[in-house]
Chains A and B, each alone.
Chain A
């Protein structure tokens, strides 16, 4: 029996504590979920169990006891760790096939026919069968993530440690991924420890551990956790109450309110915990900016934009419009062409066909873009931050790049850090920060020069529930106060509902373009946006 016992394990980094002593037990065949805010200690625990980080305390797995990475060597052969980050463990220059060969070899797997069958199955599940010769650097974000996952599964580990494996993975593939996991667990009695930012996934797990500030503050079945917050969940109040959070159609409050109770989801756990600790979400304010009235109503117009990579058509004659003061959601499965489209808008990829207008100007050359640079903000799917520089230095760098007057920079950085809540991380390196924090300051870097349009490529992937809510709140503010236009991609279908309009891509083609309200009317059976998405994807 693959039995894991974690006894009083704690993890410290040079300056701070990553994990206070925690203990837990789990057995093969189980899916154990780790949930909690960004930086709560989930990754630290996984790294300790995987023997990738030194720790205090003791871990026992498979009848081996270890208390250091060195002692963990003997179990590493039967552990699979997929660390957090988009395709983190992949080598950009290696193709899909070369990855599988590499991982098979370093894991000492005999490449017999049984293995080949398994390998084919994994490839198929990841939707990569047709892309085996493509280099990892040329895969879409979600495809990379799926490749990383199958590389981790390749040696059939007895203990699987998956750190936010579904980050950046589309709804369809997420379902397939869970099917695969369940399948493997049933067949091989694997013990699977998964952290996730999708609370809907947590409900599929046997048990979840709720982390906060390096401690496990609660555990049980997802239903049990939800049960505990039931008394605090209400239908959204029209007016804000003191010490409550009203968000996404709910009002959460510790004090009883005279409101209609509403069936909570796991999200509620996070909001309630947040209130307990910090009180209501602090009012988000956006640095003031005068509205530019001379901005044209149509910020971006694409006519038949096309991108080919060799024979492969990544964007196939896409028409799209983005208007001032509008949040446009760009949705689609992994590899549908969202990032490619945004990159063409930004001039990061040359346009093969079609016409592009930005702020009323036809864009033909990079000179045409030069003038517009000051008006565009962009956050890439891989957060292009400089890893060797602290958050403050990064922001300073971006501010300089956008020619912000140097005497204003320090003040601006302080203001954004305060409003977006990363003030205490200003002097930390991005690599030492949870994704959610990096995301916030990436956005700060993108809006410091006060653009009129913002392109956001999966800014909320891997970000915790509360931070995501705050983030959307911030986008709304930007839209309301700056009248900015936002094009955003996401794999959280619930976030589609916050968009004014949604464009759906499939295999490089636009398949729908409508307001959220209209889409619900067209799909009367849909309970949520995920159903609508699946409707489009499952129909031929």
Chain B
């Protein structure tokens, strides 16, 4: 490989992406998708599956229960369960919210004594949990306020003991933001690399490659490196959105996040390369890439359905696409933090590297330096 040749092509590619405004697509589409999907979930805190345990059974507690029952944000059910049984329901993903009204709730209120309401929220999705918590607080304070005089007073009377519950073993695949990141990083680089190559075929400039001594490896490097570079930056942009906008925790290693994402981008751009081999018009390449990335991306990123709750065949298919492996690693780095100490993560990372190597090799072998 000659660096000069690659540099020339590389520079040309960047100029072209910049001047043809393709750069907007590179940086707007991924963030837009993330925000769109992310917010779609974030604001959707209606119908929170709520269990209320009323240990008081008084007028005041009925008031509180009925306010919950009449709110569109909550689907409440009142049951008398032990606290532990109730918490299991959250773990089993049957309830999102548990409210425990203590005994002598009314009495304390009347006497002006302090009392505390227990609130357990499913915290798998922090921003959603936060919103839920705010709603719950609002409702409780409002109800109490009707009886006492001021907000300050009611605040002084009641402490709300809110705790987020998080159960990784059940809900990890259910997380939206990592799912969207893995979807976006599957689609966007594939589209870009397919377009960069097919554009030359469609316009005829591919002749510059066919009829000069530019090597296949040089051409590929020049086409794929810009994609890796430009979307490599997206890894960080998406990370920032996830942490600051969606308030995800980040428990794992940033290095693992970056490395696995780069590998994943290589997989994606190889998919684009494969598409570019069988198509010769940009619009066809575009649509085809979208189809073959979005469908598995959606199905197996855990956005629609956690892998753990899939049918057996789907589970097998899910293991064929690389999406699942990357998504798993994303959940780990964001939510769990086991990193490479968990053998599953190591295995999945190796599988991703294998995918990248195979797809890239197949793509390079199939790319022909001549008119089809």
A79-B370 contact given A90-B205, A94-B16, CB 8 Å threshold = no
B169 CB-CB contact with A under 8 Å: no
Q: Which of B27-72 contact A (CB under 8 A)?
A: none
B255 CB-CB contact with A under 8 Å: no
Give every chain A residue within 8 A of B8 (Cβ-Cβ).
Answer: 101-102, 105-106
Give every chain A residue within 8 A of B283 (Cβ-Cβ).
Answer: 388
Give every chain B residue within 8 A of A92 (Cβ-Cβ).
Answer: 20, 203
Candidate in A73, A94, A101, A106 with the most chain B CB atoms within 10 angstroms:
A106
Q: How distant is the Cα of A76 from the Cα of B214 in the complex, in angstroms?
A: 9
| Cβ of A45 to closest chain B Cβ, rounded Å | 13
By the criterion CB–CB under 8 Å, are A388 and B281 in contact? yes
A77-B213 contact given A85-B204, A102-B12, A106-B9, CB 8 Å threshold = yes
A53 CB-CB contact with B under 8 Å: yes
By the criterion CB–CB under 8 Å, are B204 and A83 in contact? yes
By the criterion CB–CB under 8 Å, are A89 and B205 in contact? yes
By the criterion CB–CB under 8 Å, are A106 and B5 in contact? yes
B138 CB-CB contact with A under 8 Å: no
Give every chain A residue within 8 A of B15 (Cβ-Cβ).
Answer: 93-94, 98
Q: Which of B134-184 contact A (CB under 8 A)?
A: none
A69-B208 contact given A94-B15, A108-B4, CB 8 Å threshold = no
By the criterion CB–CB under 8 Å, are B4 and A52 in contact? no
Give every chain A residue within 8 A of B371 (Cβ-Cβ).
Answer: 47, 52-53
Closest to A78 in B: B213
| Cβ of A149 to closest chain B Cβ, rounded Å | 14
How many residue pairs at the A-B interface have CB separations less than 8 Å? 88
B247 CB-CB contact with A under 8 Å: no
Give every chain A residue within 8 A of B368 (Cβ-Cβ).
Answer: 69
| Cβ of A454 to closest chain B Cβ, rounded Å | 27
Q: How distant is the Cα of A98 from the Cα of B204 in the complex, in angstroms?
A: 18
By the criterion CB–CB under 8 Å, are A52 and B12 in contact? no
A265 CB-CB contact with B under 8 Å: no
A210 CB-CB contact with B under 8 Å: no
The digit string for A154-179, where 1 denotes a CB below 8 A from any CB of B, is 00000000000000000000000000
A328 CB-CB contact with B under 8 Å: no
Q: How distant is the Cα of A105 from the Cα of B212 in the complex, in angstroms?
A: 11
Q: How distant is the Cα of A92 from the Cα of B204 in the complex, in angstroms?
A: 12
Give every chain B residue within 8 A of A106 (Cβ-Cβ).
Answer: 5, 8-9, 208, 212, 214
| Contact of A108 (CB < 8 Å), options: B2, B20, B369 | B2
Closest to A152 in B: B211
Q: Which of A68-117 contact B (CB under 8 A)?
A: 69-70, 73, 76-77, 79-81, 83, 85, 88-94, 98, 101-103, 105-108
A399 CB-CB contact with B under 8 Å: no
Give every chain B residue within 8 A of A83 (Cβ-Cβ).
Answer: 204, 207, 211
By the criterion CB–CB under 8 Å, are B370 and A431 in contact? no
B251 CB-CB contact with A under 8 Å: no
B284 CB-CB contact with A under 8 Å: yes
| Contact of A93 (CB < 8 Å), options: B7, B20, B211, B212 | B20
A54 CB-CB contact with B under 8 Å: yes
B104 CB-CB contact with A under 8 Å: no
| Contact of A81 (CB < 8 Å), options: B16, B20, B211, B370 | B211
Give every chain B residue within 8 A of A52 (Cβ-Cβ).
Answer: 207, 210-211, 370-371
By the criterion CB–CB under 8 Å, are B210 and A431 in contact? no
Q: Which of B183-217 contact A (CB under 8 A)?
A: 202-205, 207-208, 210-214
By the criterion CB–CB under 8 Å, are A91 and B210 in contact? no
Closest to B22 in A: A93
B270 CB-CB contact with A under 8 Å: no
A51-B204 contact given A98-B15, A105-B5, CB 8 Å threshold = no
By the criterion CB–CB under 8 Å, are B281 and A387 in contact? yes
By the criterion CB–CB under 8 Å, are B370 and A105 in contact? no
Q: How distant is the Cα of A239 from the Cα of B371 in the complex, in angstroms?
A: 49
Give every chain A residue within 8 A of B111 (Cβ-Cβ).
Answer: none
Q: How distant is the Cα of A52 from the Cα of B370 in the complex, in angstroms?
A: 5
The digit string for B350-372, where 1 denotes a CB below 8 A from any CB of A, is 00000000000000000011110
| Contact of B202 (CB < 8 Å), options: A47, A81, A101, A387 | A387
B85 CB-CB contact with A under 8 Å: no
A50 CB-CB contact with B under 8 Å: yes
A105-B4 contact given A89-B207, A90-B205, A91-B205, CB 8 Å threshold = yes
By the criterion CB–CB under 8 Å, are A53 and B370 in contact? yes
Give every chain B residue within 8 A of A77 (Cβ-Cβ).
Answer: 212-213
By the criterion CB–CB under 8 Å, are A108 and B207 in contact? no
Q: How distant is the Cα of A51 from the Cα of B212 in the complex, in angstroms?
A: 9
Give every chain B residue within 8 A of A85 (Cβ-Cβ).
Answer: 204
Q: How distant is the Cα of A116 from the Cα of B203 in the complex, in angstroms?
A: 29
Give every chain B residue within 8 A of A93 (Cβ-Cβ).
Answer: 15-16, 19-20
Closest to A105 in B: B8
B234 CB-CB contact with A under 8 Å: no
| Cβ of B258 to closest chain A Cβ, rounded Å | 31
A69-B210 contact given A93-B19, A108-B5, A388-B281, CB 8 Å threshold = yes
B301 CB-CB contact with A under 8 Å: no
By the criterion CB–CB under 8 Å, are A50 and B211 in contact? yes
Q: How distant is the Cα of A85 from the Cα of B208 in the complex, in angstroms?
A: 14
Q: How distant is the Cα of A537 from the Cα of B12 in the complex, in angstroms?
A: 37
Candidate in B19, B211, B283 with the most chain A CB atoms within 10 angstroms:
B211
Q: How distant is the Cα of A206 from the Cα of B141 in the complex, in angstroms?
A: 99
B276 CB-CB contact with A under 8 Å: no
Candidate in B9, B12, B202 with the most chain A CB atoms within 10 angstroms:
B12
Q: How distant is the Cα of A387 from the Cα of B20 in the complex, in angstroms?
A: 20
B76 CB-CB contact with A under 8 Å: no
The digit string for A375-414, where 1 denotes a CB below 8 A from any CB of B, is 0000000000001100000000000000000000000000
| Cβ of B343 to closest chain A Cβ, rounded Å | 44
By the criterion CB–CB under 8 Å, are A91 and B207 in contact? no
Q: How distant is the Cα of A73 from the Cα of B209 in the complex, in angstroms?
A: 11
Give every chain B residue within 8 A of A135 (Cβ-Cβ).
Answer: 19
B280 CB-CB contact with A under 8 Å: yes
Give every chain A residue within 8 A of B214 (Cβ-Cβ).
Answer: 106
A431-B280 contact given A54-B370, A88-B203, A98-B12, CB 8 Å threshold = yes
Give every chain A residue within 8 A of B369 (Cβ-Cβ).
Answer: 69-70
| Cβ of B302 to closest chain A Cβ, rounded Å | 35
Beyond the given A51-B370, A91-B203, A387-B281, could you list 18 further A-B residue pairs with CB under 8 A, ordered by the A residue number?
Answer: A50-B210, A51-B210, A51-B211, A52-B370, A76-B212, A81-B207, A88-B205, A90-B205, A93-B16, A93-B20, A98-B12, A101-B8, A102-B11, A105-B5, A105-B7, A107-B212, A107-B213, A387-B202
Please list the 4 inter-chain residue pairs (A to B) with the smallest Cβ-Cβ separation, ordered nearest first.
Answer: A105-B8, A88-B204, A52-B210, A388-B281
Q: List 16 A-B contacts (CB under 8 A).
A: A50-B211, A52-B211, A73-B213, A81-B211, A83-B207, A89-B204, A91-B16, A94-B12, A105-B8, A106-B8, A106-B208, A107-B213, A108-B4, A387-B280, A387-B281, A388-B281
